[in-house]
Chain A
């Protein structure tokens, strides 16, 4: 699960990984050298062994110094050509076939179709790429050796290390090329799979007047596409957004295509004389064009129309309510006054349920040459436009938004306050997953997120907060309404700043399983309403800020995990993120290739495949193996064997590097053999096995312990493929940070380097390349 992946800051990661790497490599060197020395001594006697070892060390050093990128590249090209002759096309064809049939299993009407599609293509590409990488590289070197082709290579001045690295580079570039093609195909697949179009019938809109105001809203539902519809609300100008369905929304814009006469009268306030005009309006609300002629209602002939100057709309757009300010200058020909008039008023373009209306109201201000007001005229007009509003209003639903994204979140740390307001833990409401803690509504309980790096540069316009929280009801409450909650910005308490500064509560109605976005402005009232706070001046301390999440309804609960409330710094390109996802796959494939090439220096191809399969399975199941199973046996051992317990405590294993392994308190039941016995005897994990003598059981436990220790140690050097799985990031629309990309790339490079060196010595020891 994405929530549980923790990405360390790069520096921190680099230091800890580098130390670990050096330790492991030193250990490998020491062990390797010891084994080689032992074997040589047994075979050739100490003196000769010494000679041989120094020789190997000497040539190894020479090989390193004389390493030639050019020769490596030549080998790489060979490997590349070899690969093309083998499986690549077949695997690629398989991929295309899978893509063709995928539509049968993927539902575009799922709740989060993008997630489904993206994780499908990425997972498929991932497995195919890994399988291909293994098949490509496992057969190459063994068949070279078997067919003795290797001799034609090593008779050339090519060094063993160059052969290995060349093969790794060659195969991985081939896989990379294939992945690039897959990437493009699946990108098109996803984008096309998500593409859909909704329509709107204006006549079906329902009008709603906001209480105590003249503001009208219009509600409706789009047509069905990809198995879903969007309810939406637009303002009286027909501008708005749909609700989020299936993980996305659409913007709605309305174009006005006004046909028909629109009459209005201009009254001179000085002498009370009136004159009628006919206007024809067209264009959209953002840029209406008005043509006007003197007349009293009948549609004027086209040639008699003259275009008024296009009005400059000052605050058009869907933010405004139902009027747009404008200023028109009426040419003197139309005023009948022999002078130009400036019209300063408002225009109303409401979407009405029964036919469209266009109304205009304002003052005509007569100005002299210097812009001074000379006299006032009022203008008033109303015209019914058409019976069928769909002829007047062209309401357009835009492209889907919010689905194929790469959001850049800033996560905070999370702590909870209990119902009494004291620090505590999130309440467990009994969900199987323990990721989220719950906060009781109507109490002092809160989930507190602390963010770092909040600067005016990063958030010049305030904080965009996104929430993905869960709701747990203990009473039915009002079914038709979702549970209310609030966010509050609080200044963190530090040693230097202890004053309590809190913003007012920002209320929201909860949504579940779809992101809720709240934009917190830079200026916000304080909790008591007494003053206006500035986000950065009053609330942020050293770039730190706290956001308190509360549930506002008694007996209802909100659940939140550490990644459920985050600040959205901005977005990166989705395509770039998609490519990053494929880059992770490429890195995994490269690691597999490196392992294959290394193993194939001393194993037959089938065995190489088996070994790599073991490494992969271990790599994917690492999270389960490393602690869980090992801890099981340790718990039992410490309980059953006082000696073991003494060793652990005297060696201080409970703390330090081994701490999380030896402090285990859970997972009883023993190791492999003991578990197998339990299955046969039908004894569950918590009861003692009394049918087998205790001495025997102890021996079994010791065996389990050492076998598990070996597995565990091995696990420490096996690549953790889970940390390379970035499909979830892409699928759920989160940006893969460059930090993560760098970590993965560096780790891959380390594996390639180490495995090449390891393979070099193995190949040398086979004497084919000596």
Chain B
């Protein structure tokens, strides 16, 4: 059948057009973007949008599609891996040449090419906030580069909504980089007044909650980002990766502690600081109440330790009724193997123990602890009822659990921070700190008598505090006190007086020097070094 060539061409074109239109249908089904409803939820959308939604990749929403990124990936025709490699090497060269603008521009391109590769955001942000910032000598420029890294992370978060790693990093940079750098005083000062910067934070960060009397606080701001990262895991079902759960969940509460600590560093301690410590304690308790998945496979609650110990004591008492006197016998036998120093420490009533003795008791505890199975073994066979088996079993399990909790608590210096927050929130602590500050000012102004009085009042209060909260001795906090003690010594020297004996804060000196001054005469050899230096508080 012959056809008019013109018509045949027309028919062919129409067929092509129809085919093209038909192909649009699957394209539509696959590629249709989702529609954003209220509260940021998305509905509808094609297969790709659904998959993106499921995997939590951002640009599933219409209006959120980033044309630049899409265009660049399209233009590289599947070779964006190669392009990224080339750009990375150029960015690295730019860094070597200290051409940091060029580096930033290249980083931007790299991230347009692979916006959902979280580790790249992480890497480049770190590059800016940590590596590039220190290349500059002027702290204001450094601060600007720290901010650039943070900006970069925020942009990364826009592409990767609710990514716990990026959110946690945001908290980390805002807290640790701003608040712990060599220039932290300057950085924190700049941050306090940096309205322009904090206004750029996304709406879900309520910046007003990080506003204090002095301005915006970087640690509180960090806490807000940590809160967000926690809620991304808890409420939005994001997978937690990078950090272990213990450290991850500690972050929000820890940033409150850091906030309170920094306030006392920057300003005179007052009710604002007191309040901050109270809040920190509440947050810390909250952290202790939440279940944390452990590496032993069970979720632990750090606050449960005391409760479990009471429970164990109760159960042990019940178990002992099956074999009266056995526990006492075993304990006595074990005491004989111990160094008499330790036995003496154990036998001293808890409220009279010196710091060294407390440590010895802790060290001796695992030795003196009696395994319920040993007791069980000594129960006469006729008494070995189901109840005894159950008790033995339960005690063993609870003890195991307590060990786990204890280890986890040690990892985050749980007791220390709890004690510290409680202590610092007291009016005595505020007064004690102020006395020492007054004393230092008086010393510098040459008012030695006043300085001396202030020092002594401060030390008296500190003694009271440290005795009530002995756990707080184990930290760098002691260093602050040591400085004051040194200054006090110089004050006395200048006044021609000798160092008082006994001295209120002898325990702080002992701790620093590692030498124990005998509190009471008993023949203790003074060369015994104090035990493990304790948890360093970070």
Chain A residue nearest to B145 (CB atoms) is A111
Are B97 and A433 in contact, with the CB atoms below 8 A? yes
Evaluate whether A479 and B186 lie within 8 angstroms (CB atoms) in the complex, with A107-B105, A107-B108, A510-B137 already known.
Answer: yes
Contact of A104 among B68, B182, B196 (CB under 8 A): B68
User: Could you say which of A111, A119, A229, A432 has the most chain B C-beta atoms within 10 Å of its C-beta?
Assistant: A111
CA distance A1 to B105 in the complex (A): 17
CA distance A479 to B136 in the complex (A): 11
- Residues of A in contact with B (beta carbons under 8 Å apart): 1, 101, 104-107, 110-113, 115-116, 119-120, 224, 229, 431-433, 470-471, 473, 476, 479-480, 482-483, 510-513
A-B contact pairs, 27 of them (CB 8 A): A1-B97, A1-B99, A104-B68, A105-B68, A105-B109, A106-B105, A107-B108, A110-B101, A111-B101, A113-B101, A116-B101, A120-B105, A432-B96, A433-B96, A433-B97, A433-B98, A471-B137, A476-B182, A479-B182, A479-B183, A479-B186, A483-B137, A512-B136, A512-B137, A512-B141, A513-B100, A513-B136
Question: What residues of chain A lie closer than 8 Å to B137, measured between beta carbons?
Answer: 471, 473, 482-483, 510, 512
Are B97 and A116 in contact, with the CB atoms below 8 A? no
CA distance A433 to B94 in the complex (A): 10
Interface string of B84-125 (1 = CB under 8 A from A): 000000000000111111101100110010000000000000
User: Could you say which of A432, A473, A476 has the most chain B C-beta atoms within 10 Å of its C-beta?
Assistant: A432
Question: What residues of chain B lie closer than 8 Å to A512, measured between beta carbons?
Answer: 135-138, 141
Rounded to whole Å, the gap between the CB of B138 and the closest CB of chain A is 6
CA distance A119 to B102 in the complex (A): 9
User: Interface of chain A, helix or strand or loop or mixed?
Assistant: loop
Question: What residues of chain B lie closer than 8 Å to A1, measured between beta carbons?
Answer: 97, 99
Question: What residues of chain A lie closer than 8 Å to B136, measured between beta carbons?
Answer: 512-513
Contact of A116 among B98, B102, B185 (CB under 8 A): B102
CA distance A512 to B137 in the complex (A): 7
Question: What residues of chain B lie closer than 8 Å to A113, measured between beta carbons?
Answer: 101
Size of the chain B interface, CB-CB below 8 angstroms: 25
Are A111 and B102 in contact, with the CB atoms below 8 A? no
Give me 11 other A-B pairs in contact (C-beta within 8 A), A104-B68, A115-B101, A512-B136 excluded. A105-B108, A107-B105, A116-B101, A116-B105, A120-B105, A479-B182, A482-B138, A483-B137, A512-B135, A512-B141, A513-B98
Question: What residues of chain B lie closer than 8 Å to A471, measured between beta carbons?
Answer: 137
Question: What residues of chain B lie closer than 8 Å to A105, measured between beta carbons?
Answer: 68, 105, 108-109, 112
Chain A to chain B: the 10 pairs with minimum beta-carbon distance, closest first: A471-B137, A104-B68, A432-B96, A110-B101, A512-B137, A112-B101, A479-B183, A111-B101, A1-B97, A433-B96
Rounded to whole Å, the gap between the CB of B399 and the closest CB of chain A is 49
Chain A residue nearest to B96 (CB atoms) is A432
Q: Decide yes or no whether B71 CB sits under 8 A from chain A.
A: yes
Question: What residues of chain A lie closer than 8 Å to B109, measured between beta carbons?
Answer: 105
Are A479 and B101 in contact, with the CB atoms below 8 A? no
Are B141 and A479 in contact, with the CB atoms below 8 A? no
CA distance A394 to B138 in the complex (A): 32
Chain A residue nearest to B98 (CB atoms) is A433
Question: What residues of chain B lie closer than 8 Å to A480, measured between beta carbons?
Answer: 139, 186
Are A511 and B101 in contact, with the CB atoms below 8 A? no
Question: What residues of chain B lie closer than 8 Å to A483, measured between beta carbons?
Answer: 137
CA distance A195 to B516 in the complex (A): 71
CA distance A476 to B182 in the complex (A): 8
Question: What residues of chain A lie closer than 8 Å to B139, measured between beta carbons?
Answer: 479-480
CA distance A116 to B99 in the complex (A): 10
CA distance A672 to B186 in the complex (A): 54
B121-166 residues at the A interface, CB under 8 angstroms: 135-139, 141
Chain A residue nearest to B105 (CB atoms) is A116
Chain B residue nearest to A106 (CB atoms) is B105
Contact of A101 among B68, B98, B108, B183 (CB under 8 A): B68
Are A110 and B105 in contact, with the CB atoms below 8 A? yes
Are A111 and B100 in contact, with the CB atoms below 8 A? yes
Interface string of B179-193 (1 = CB under 8 A from A): 000110110000000
Chain A residue nearest to B139 (CB atoms) is A479
Are B138 and A511 in contact, with the CB atoms below 8 A? yes
Chain A residue nearest to B187 (CB atoms) is A479
CA distance A482 to B68 in the complex (A): 40
CA distance A224 to B196 in the complex (A): 9
CA distance A523 to B207 in the complex (A): 56
CA distance A473 to B182 in the complex (A): 13
Rounded to whole Å, the gap between the CB of B48 and the closest CB of chain A is 23
CA distance A224 to B200 in the complex (A): 13
CA distance A691 to B75 in the complex (A): 46
Question: What residues of chain B lie closer than 8 Å to A119, measured between beta carbons?
Answer: 102
Question: What residues of chain B lie closer than 8 Å to A101, measured between beta carbons?
Answer: 68, 71
Question: What residues of chain B lie closer than 8 Å to A106, measured between beta carbons?
Answer: 105
Rounded to whole Å, the gap between the CB of A221 and the closest CB of chain B is 10
Question: What residues of chain A lie closer than 8 Å to B183, measured between beta carbons?
Answer: 479
Chain B residue nearest to A105 (CB atoms) is B108
CA distance A459 to B112 in the complex (A): 49
Evaluate whether A110 and B68 lie within 8 angstroms (CB atoms) in the complex, with A479-B186, A482-B138 already known.
Answer: no
User: Could you say which of B109, B138, B185 has the most chain A C-beta atoms within 10 Å of its C-beta?
Assistant: B138
Rounded to whole Å, the gap between the CB of B86 and the closest CB of chain A is 13
Question: What residues of chain A lie closer than 8 Å to B186, measured between beta carbons?
Answer: 479-480
CA distance A68 to B491 in the complex (A): 102
B55-98 residues at the A interface, CB under 8 angstroms: 68, 71, 96-98
Chain B residue nearest to A432 (CB atoms) is B96
CA distance A513 to B196 in the complex (A): 24
